[in-house]
Amino acid sequence: MAYDPADLRLPGWLLRLFDALIRVHVPLAPGWRIAMTRSGVMVVLAMLGVWAAALYSGNNLLYLCGAMLTGLVAAVVLQGAALLRSIPAPADMALPVLEAGQVHVLRKHFPLTAGAAAMVDISWPFGDGRFDLQGRCSGNRVLISGRLRTDRRGVFALEKACLSSEAPLGLLKLSKYSASACNVYVLPAAVPWQAEPAAGAQDAALRDGDEWRDLRAYVPGDALARVHWRKVAAHAQVNSRDWSVKRFATDQSALKSAHLCVDLTLPEQADASDFERLLGKAWYWLQQQRGRPGSFALGQQLFDTGEDEQVVSAMRALAACRPDNRGVADGASMLLSLVGSRA
């Protein structure tokens, strides 16, 4: 690991000079920028000093030392560029569908085109926010991890992601800007259709049946008896957003119909929060019915809940949904609407 000049007890004015030089990012090539770390500032200044002394004195040994330092810096730049080129393009990382206000922990492995052992920072701006991810390269794989969170529902275009790393020696920070763009879909926060049962009521899991089905993400309003507490304790998940809820064979009995029609009309007395709550209920229903035969109508769009591709299309439509007074599509029976009453 490179030494930090702050450990050498240098004067404050010299450290401030180092910090000023660190903030300078120099264009290296189209889509590439380079900057120095504190340790890199010392090496570059030493290299310039050696070359200045060699040119002044004509000493062959100083020429040799200058050439060695120059070769070292060039090797750092070339190896850093090769590392960033081996990372998959951000558009190929296939970010998951998110929920507004919820934290999604991303941990995915991707292949590297060349073996490496280094850390890479990934900054991905979108709209008025930014995703900050980290890549850990080990062998021929890179682990991309980070916490993804957005507070607004919608479809956001991610452009000009920045991959940066100080590898291999921590002397220079090389940044690569990727022009490949993709969209991230942010769904509304799920709103359960039923409130949590009162204290003393029969356990919901037992009431619904004792044949375990699967786990899903916890949403506010779920019965605490359904939370997988052993998994929560094993991973020290204090935040309820990271909890998992157990589902049983008859867990969906509360939804009497496998056909839902969502009316996107926004009446005058309703506001944007009412519309988001309506979509949250629709998203909760879609999660419960996914994989089961049925239909889901979102305004004029009709989807089959039994086909994964159409469910994905329905999720994207929910993320991009806007109020629409054209009515609803035919083919669904149960109506979810803001007209006449609050959803």
Count CB neighbours of 288 within 10 A: 19
DSSP codes of every residue in 151-190: SS-EEEEE--EEEEE-TTTSSEEEEEEE---EEEEEEPPP
Tokens of 185: 């879909």
pLDDT reading at 206 higher than 50:
no
- pLDDT, tens only, 29-83: 888 999 988 888 888 889 999 999 999 998 999 999 999 999 999 999 999 999 9
Q: Which residues of 229-267 are buried (b: 16+ CB within 10 A; e: fewer)?
A: eeebeeeebeeebbbbbbbbeebbeebeebbbbbbbbbe
Residue in 314, 279, 320, 321 with CA at minimum distance from that of residue 294: 314
The answer to whether 287 touches 280, Cβ cutoff 8 Å, is: no
What is the band of 184 on the pLDDT scale with cuts at 50, 70, 90? confident
Domain segments of the chain: what residues? 1-187, 194-254, 255-343
- pLDDT, tens only, 324-338: 888 777 655 678 888
Q: Is 246 helix (H, G, I), strand (E, B) or coil?
A: strand
* Mean pLDDT calculated for residue range 294-298: 88
Q: How far apart are CA 41 and CA 37, in angstroms?
A: 6
Q: Is 137 helix (H, G, I), strand (E, B) or coil?
A: strand
CATH topology of domain 1-187: Immunoglobulin-like (2.60.40)
Which pTM value belongs to this model?
A: 0.67
Give the relative orientation of helices 60-86 and 38-57 as an angle to the nearest 10 degrees.
150
